[in-house]
A and B are shown apart, each in its own frame.
Chain A
């Protein structure tokens, strides 16, 4: 069955530390997409990144970077030099095509607390 596991329920770091959020997925599909979303304390869900299963290049966007490894079915998210504003719940999600639509399967989320 398709599944997304975020084993880290909560992470607490001090500002300027680097932190990696783990995401492990299971799928039988050969073509799929992976996503990360951020949910700050205000509650909204903010799209961060989308990666397809054929592109294993790492991606960097400012202090954010993503490491996709098909061999280990992982799509980990690293925040470099964390800041208090990074405090949020982060969700990893897997996209599979079911019935002609993009079904998103979410992990349970990792709550990141960045302390001054």
Chain B
């Protein structure tokens, strides 16, 4: 079984709809992240969470919210989806015990979101 899972893997929605993307991990890591990937732009950080009670905005958090329901679960919500949120979304995890700079982030399989 995959260590980091994301559901759904693909989603088509309409402008104005609220949707939630979910991420679960079995790696036992304390830190979790949400990124979006757009063609030619690499990955950009949306939100990150150090633990259940510590959630922080990344570089492009507008239009998104998150919830850390448990150490192993981190959800991303689009409150009112718009077409320019069409992207590939990745969840990632890391272990703070390895030291801040040395942490390796492990990524889930991604969720392809299309907003019409």
Contacts and interface: CB of A to CB of B under 8 A. Distances in A.
Given A108-B41, A108-B42, A37 B107 contact: yes
B70 interface: no
Given A50-B102, A50-B104, A52-B102, A44 B109 contact: yes
Interface residues of B, number: 25
B56 interface: yes
B102 to A, nearest CB: 6
Interface in A24-62: 31-33, 35, 37, 42-47, 50, 52
A116 interface: no
A47 B104 contact: yes
Given A43-B88, A91-B42, A102 B94 contact: yes
A44 B88 CA distance: 10
